[in-house]
Amino acid sequence: MTKKVVIDCDVGVDDALALILAFHSPELEVKAVTGVNGNVPLDTVFTNIQKMLSFIQPACKPLIARGANQPLKGETIHAHSVHGQDGLGGAKIQCEDGKTWWQNYPRHASELILEMAHQHPDEITLVAVGPLTNLALALKQDPAGMKKLKELVIMGGAVRTRGNVTPYAEFNIYSDPVAAKIVFESGIPITLVPLDVTHQVFLTPRWMEEKAKPLNTPFSNFLIEATGYDIETHRFRNRDTIFLHDPLAVAAVIEPTLVKMERLSLQVEIQDGEYYGKISEVKKGPEIDVCLGVDAERFLELFVSGLR
Ligand code: RIB
Ligand code: CA
């Protein structure tokens, strides 16, 4: 039985790698891909979703829709320093065969998410790998409809580890903490894939030499380009470590035994100040399955299998 998924993303480099893994996994049927402002502005995110689908060429053309271009509250932040101006690390997508590898959905992403929940009650896993604005808008619009989702798998947060935007907050949550609070309190079953676990796996120059380069497929070559790996100097051009945050969230859906979870009660800090966007463990709060451990080797095997 394949798992029906909808992926809400802010295509950046790791989101792009997550899309490749998802569409190349026989375990998943990706029904829709929705874009949200995050790593880069919404227009660039949506262009990147179309670029990646032209590259992946999924036989079952997913529905795609544009979502929020700013958070519910607070300043809009981006991460061009990590993902480049184009959000794909400057990687050039070869396949522009003029075909359309998607079905355009004419309304807002939040409506597409709700339509999928209504059409496939208790079957849809919504994988959210960007800020949670679209999910919060859908919950505001039709909370009962959103409860027809089977579960949410969310890449985000830093629970017992340091944040990557402030010492306390991770990018997807920090970008829209009000949205995150609404989603956490929705009552929908949630699996959280925070930095606590995504920082346990990263690509090294040695891995790129031994596992990526020899593949020499369009997707392994995209990985080399998008992560800025320099095959001459055997180094990543602008960073020492390349994390696979979003691919790990997808992998947790494909193969849940890859991750070790603990059920924790969590809350999101939405007050301005030092702890804005921080996720804290509380005595009484929404119970969320938090991934705190991963079988890194088995995950990387699954990840590299998606590049073939
Ligand atoms: O903090 C990592 C997350 O923020 C990833 O989803 C990355 O793509 C960015 O959105
Ligand atoms: Ca992302």
Establish whether 245 is a catalytic residue.
yes
The confidence score (pLDDT) of residue 1 equals 87
Instruction: Determine contact, residues 34/67, Cβ cutoff 8 Å.
Output: yes
The pLDDT > 70 percentage for the chain reads 99
The confidence score (pLDDT) of residue 255 equals 98
pLDDT digits (tens, 9 = 90+) for 52-83: 999 999 999 999 999 999 999 988 999 998 89
Place of tokens 């979703």: 49
Catalytic residue among 78, 83, 108, 245: 245
pLDDT band at 301 (very low <50, low <70, confident <90, very high): very high
Q: Does 246 sit in the ligand 1 pocket, CB within 6 Å? A: yes
Q: Does 176 sit in the ligand 1 pocket, CB within 6 Å? A: no
- The ligand that comes nearest to the alpha carbon of residue 171 is 1
The pLDDT > 90 percentage for the chain reads 94
Distance 98 CA to ligand 1 centre (A): 30
Ligand 1 pocket: which of 17, 172, 244 to mutate (most atoms within 8 A of CB): 172
The confidence score (pLDDT) of residue 95 equals 66
User: Between these two residues, 98 and 288, which has the higher pLDDT value?
Assistant: 288
Ligand 1 pocket: which of 7, 14, 165 to mutate (most atoms within 8 A of CB): 14
- Structural domain of 7: 3-307
Exposed, middle or buried: residue 305 (CB in 10 Å: 0-12, 13-18, 19+)?
exposed
pLDDT digits (tens, 9 = 90+) for 215-256: 999 999 999 999 999 999 999 987 878 999 999 999 999 999
| DSSP-assigned states of every residue in 90-158 | TPPP----S---SEE--S-HHHHHHHHHHHSTTTEEEEE-S-SHHHHHHHHH-HHHHTTSSEEEEE---
Average pLDDT, stretch 109-136? Answer: 98
CATH number of the domain within which 29 lies:
3.90.245.10
Average pLDDT, stretch 145-172? Answer: 98
Mean pLDDT of the chain: 96
Q: Does 12 sit in the ligand 1 pocket, CB within 6 Å? A: yes
Q: Is the pLDDT of residue 96 over 80?
A: no
Q: Is the pLDDT of residue 273 over 70?
A: yes
Q: Please tell me the total count of domains within the chain.
A: 1
**What is the position in ligand 1's atom list of the atom closest to the CA of 249?**
6
